[in-house]
Amino acid sequence: MQYIFIDSNKKIGGIEKLFIDMALYLNQMGEEVYFLVEYEDSIYYRYLGQLENVHFIIRNSNIAIKFLSNKEIKNEKQYILNKLDTSKNYVVIAAYFKTFQQALAFFGSEKNFKLIHYWAHPQSWALELFTKKNIITKRKENICYNYQRKLLQELDRRNADIRGSETGAIYNNWFYNLQIDRENVIPLPIKKLKIATKESNTPNIENNKKKILWCGRFTYFKNEAIIHIHKTLEKIAVEHKNLKLEYHIIGFGNSKNTTFVKKSIIPNKVKVIYHGMVNH
Tell me which DSSP letter residue 96 carries: S
**Helices within the chain (DSSP H only):** 14-28, 43-48, 70-81, 97-107, 143-157, 166-176, 223-239, 255-264
Mark the ranges of the chain whose per-residue pLDDT is less than 50: 190-193, 195-200, 202, 206
What is the pLDDT, as a whole number, of residue 93?
A: 94
What is the pLDDT, as a whole number, of residue 193?
A: 44
By CB atoms closer than 10 A (0-12, 13-18, 19+), residue 96 is buried
Phi, psi of 253 (to 5 degrees): -175, -175
What is the pLDDT, as a whole number, of residue 135?
A: 54
- Virtual torsion, Cα 88, 91, 93, 99, nearest 10 deg: 50
Per-residue model confidence as pLDDT tens digits over 47-71: 999 999 999 999 988 888 888 999 9
pTM of the model: 0.74
What is the pLDDT, as a whole number, of residue 40?
A: 86
Q: What span, in angstroms and rounded, lies between the C-alpha atoms of 269 and 234?
A: 6
